[in-house]
Structure 1
């Protein structure tokens, strides 16, 4: 339930001074007919082995008002911009509310219905709307103002979380009621997520997209480190309802910050119908080799990897005998690993390359799942979970940054809608599958099986390289 808002790294005056080529407004006589013909040339094919690999700087648009940034720059470089810092801190607070909510929702379901199928269904109900609606939502974000869309979705999410807090406080919540409200939250997120992801490249130089995505991951995972512990404290002191109330408050804070964002970019449909725009975005993703490999990489990782998020609350309760605070510590360890991994990710990617880095990160995550299946002592288990957090972050950050760089600006929200559809579909399918498997062979068996499957998919992923280099 990531609510991260797009972190601008340029001042409003700088945005308004961008040349027209940086905006979504089409050039007369060109964009109306050319995109469809461009689709046949979208796939650049494999790089010539006799020539140096294309660097990220070569892929960077010429921007007279935005300095080029080396991919070797610090992962924290965008924090030098005051406006970026404001948005990043706001996103950190928002993500903190997300993870406090996650702890409350997962633990609430274990109290309402502790079966593995129902516990896993909490995440499935959140991701199903994204499976079916992420692409249309991306088309919408390419056609109307992104700031207004973000404010609208934050308002919806504020109302849903406030209702969940009231129902939980008055003891009128049921297992199916929790799933229903979670589903409605998924409907809000299905518009929110592709919109803010598509806005990030609008606000940073192309060469800084990996750092921008990485900082978003740091914000998300830093909140994941702190949020579960705070969630456990709130549950112990005030009760489960307080986790949802805190999340509602953070939605209100995000709305306040978004109201200060002054955009100059103008969305335009270029005379195309909604369905023609949808087909155009899907066609690009289907025909471009890099985007196809990104989509496959998401499925190969998320389907087996979703077992952790689906069964972790039940694992903490039944295998370790821990309460909400112990579950919060486990989730915090995942976040801590992701924060540490994000801080060194640019150097690792430069040294090993994106493809080998993704394969190694997947293998690291798989090893953690296998270790968990043997129910080790907590002194060994928690470091394994920290490493799994680093593996999760490294894999998805690399795939997301590759997609952001590959997609052209006019198709970016639609392309990210396709990306999110694949991610959510893989998460929903994986959560449902591992919940059923855990019900049949136990939690340990599900973890062991998923770890073995991921070792296989990590090897398969090497056969489908990410040709857009992020590491030179």
Structure 2
């Protein structure tokens, strides 16, 4: 947030909502993604409409959406690790080509009349696996394409992209399916992935990863450790789950509402989805002003209430035009909620762990949508569609009320997450032979006057979270009985390589502030020691340089 302008000077305006599109690479990838999203929504309509007249339609149509989303639960984390460790551009090109091939197979089988419900759900699941593997990498490249100040606008444009596709794709698919059948829309989706391949191939990405790439298992563990010790990130995950689990009922059951309750054709169902998309476009255009005026938590509350209203409308109204009108409001709420959660998280994450943390977010949001869709479909099959949708609307309102107790933290997304290097390389007499040697025990000794002890302990409590977030598996603070003015901070890092990564690229500006705050409360320079198990193999070392070393 910028400070108030000086007297007599006009307030500085933030970046335009459309500013990211001025960047050539962002623009080309955005347009390619728009084509792919249109194709994906066309395929979704075609797939669901193939099943809407089958016995147990509520379960089957929900199963199609669940099949596309559930792979996020078990693939998102490995995908996040791969996106942080490997070249994201190459990974995305490969996966996009695989997705094009899978959609091509579905096209051929459908044209030949061989696509049974089981085949359709199986291939949808396979493509869901591809989407799950692509998701963290696609999210993580966004801050590489635009300046930090434009990240909120880029996130809003990303949501706008999806929802323009939602407005155009289903309506077009409804017409095409009615005229020719679903095979054509499946073929269009296959071709759309080739546009993504071309746009990514033309992007000459600047490699920003320093040092030796992390191994997969330690990278996974460090990513989960970061999320576990980042309170603001955890709260965003909680808000995502409380919203998407009940919201998924409308997405999963809308095909059945359209066919059995409203008596609409494939084209009518496409228009209902288009109404959601139009609302989301309105939301994307207005979100910057609304978020500035209302703030994050009020905006999330209004978004949740709007989605609850649309869910209830689908349960009780019989007039298609009335349902469509309320679905426009519902689309606004969906965009506001999704963009707010995504933007807050993007701004809260440092680059070194961004894809891994976003993978956890995608597990919660998309995985929650997949589980919720399947569960609501089963419930609707037993209890009926209207009672199920009304129950989901009630849960949305309860989730809205929970903002009183579990709001998004005000500082989330505002802290300095720029990577800095406040710690020089440790100068040691002996060094471990391998990066995997460990664990490493780091001991930092402080001299703290009695009158500063309360402030010092408060500062160290905040620093303990930072140490764990950046690599420490254990942390403790101790006071010397022989010399009460001496305080010893001890933290354990799983390996020597992990500790060097703390030096090389994990400390953000905010982490450095926490270290400096603790040091300012101590007299003199803290004394640091690095301790390893006695069986550690030794490599070449250098004599210790004069002066203490932090970390």
Q: Are the aligned partners of 2:85 and 2:213 in contact in 1 as well (CA < 8 Å)?
A: no
> Are 1:324 and 2:266 matched, yes or no?
yes
In the alignment, what sits opposite 1:244? 186
CA offset at residue 379 of structure 1? Answer: 2.6
Match among 122, 125, 131 for residue 73 of structure 2: 131
Match among 160, 183, 204 for residue 125 of structure 2: 183
Q: What is the DSSP-based 3-state SS (H/G/I as helix, E as strand, rest coil) of the residue aligned with 2:63?
A: helix
Match among 274, 277, 287 for residue 219 of structure 2: 277
In the alignment, what sits opposite 1:196? 138
In the alignment, what sits opposite 1:42? none
Q: Distance in 2 between matches of 1:227 and 1:397?
A: 21
Q: Name which of structure 1's ranges 180-189 and 270-279 shifts more when overlaid on structure 2.
A: 270-279
Taking a change above 3 Å as real, the CA distance of residues 220 and 390 of structure 1, as seen in their structure-2 partners, is same
Taking a change above 3 Å as real, the CA distance of residues 70 and 147 of structure 1, as seen in their structure-2 partners, is farther
Match among 222, 239, 250 for residue 308 of structure 1: 250
CA offset at residue 73 of structure 1? Answer: 3.3
Q: Distance in 2 between matches of 1:470 and 1:386?
A: 29
Q: Are the aligned partners of 1:71 and 1:346 in contact in 2 as well (CA < 8 Å)?
A: no
CA offset at residue 150 of structure 1? Answer: 0.5
Q: Distance in 2 between matches of 1:319 and 1:280?
A: 49
Higher relative contact order (CA 8 A, sep 6+): 1
Taking a change above 3 Å as real, the CA distance of residues 71 and 464 of structure 1, as seen in their structure-2 partners, is farther
In the alignment, what sits opposite 2:468? none
Cα RMSD (Å) = 1.9
Match among 330, 349, 354 for residue 407 of structure 1: 349
Q: Distance in 2 between matches of 1:265 and 1:333?
A: 41
Q: Distance in 2 between matches of 1:452 and 1:392?
A: 17
Q: Name which of structure 1's ranges 74-83 and 381-390 shifts more when overlaid on structure 2.
A: 74-83
> Are 1:254 and 2:173 matched, yes or no?
no
Q: Are the aligned partners of 1:96 and 1:226 in contact in 2 as well (CA < 8 Å)?
A: yes
Where does 1:13-52 land on structure 2 (aligned, <5 Å)?
none
In the alignment, what sits opposite 1:386? 328
Q: What is the DSSP-based 3-state SS (H/G/I as helix, E as strand, rest coil) of the residue aligned with 2:370?
A: helix
In the alignment, what sits opposite 2:456? none
Where does 1:91-110 land on structure 2 (aligned, <5 Å)?
91-110=33-52
1:65-123 CA distance string (max 9 Å, x none): xxxx9774331122233443333222221211111111111111224555211111111
In the alignment, what sits opposite 1:337? 279
Taking a change above 3 Å as real, the CA distance of residues 200 and 57 of structure 1, as seen in their structure-2 partners, is farther
Taking a change above 3 Å as real, the CA distance of residues 280 and 241 of structure 1, as seen in their structure-2 partners, is same
Q: Name which of structure 1's ranges 198-207 and 140-149 shifts more when overlaid on structure 2.
A: 198-207
Structure 1 gap segments, 5+ residues each: 1-54, 59-68
Where does 1:135-174 land on structure 2 (aligned, <5 Å)?
135-174=77-116
Q: What is the DSSP-based 3-state SS (H/G/I as helix, E as strand, rest coil) of the residue aligned with 2:202?
A: coil
Q: Distance in 2 between matches of 1:308 and 1:348?
A: 25
Q: Distance in 1 between matches of 2:310 and 2:383?
A: 19
Q: Are the aligned partners of 1:359 and 1:458 in contact in 2 as well (CA < 8 Å)?
A: yes
Q: What is the DSSP-based 3-state SS (H/G/I as helix, E as strand, rest coil) of the residue aligned with 1:259?
A: helix
Q: Distance in 2 between matches of 1:199 and 1:70?
A: 28
In the alignment, what sits opposite 2:437? none
Q: Are the aligned partners of 2:56 and 2:381 in contact in 1 as well (CA < 8 Å)?
A: no
1:276-312 CA distance string (max 9 Å, x none): 1111111111111111110001100000000111111
Aligned residues: 407
Q: Name which of structure 1's ranges 89-98 and 356-365 shifts more when overlaid on structure 2.
A: 89-98
In the alignment, what sits opposite 1:290? 232
Q: Distance in 1 between matches of 2:13 and 2:398?
A: 31
1:416-456 CA distance string (max 9 Å, x none): 01101111221122112111111121111111110011000
In the alignment, what sits opposite 2:368? 426
In the alignment, what sits opposite 1:374? 316
Q: Are the aligned partners of 1:56 and 1:207 in contact in 2 as well (CA < 8 Å)?
A: no
Q: Name which of structure 1's ranges 384-393 and 262-271 shifts more when overlaid on structure 2.
A: 262-271
Q: Distance in 2 between matches of 1:226 and 1:174?
A: 27
Report the structure, 1 or 2, having the larger strand content: 2
Q: What is the DSSP-based 3-state SS (H/G/I as helix, E as strand, rest coil) of the residue aligned with 2:17?
A: coil
Taking a change above 3 Å as real, the CA distance of residues 259 and 113 of structure 1, as seen in their structure-2 partners, is farther
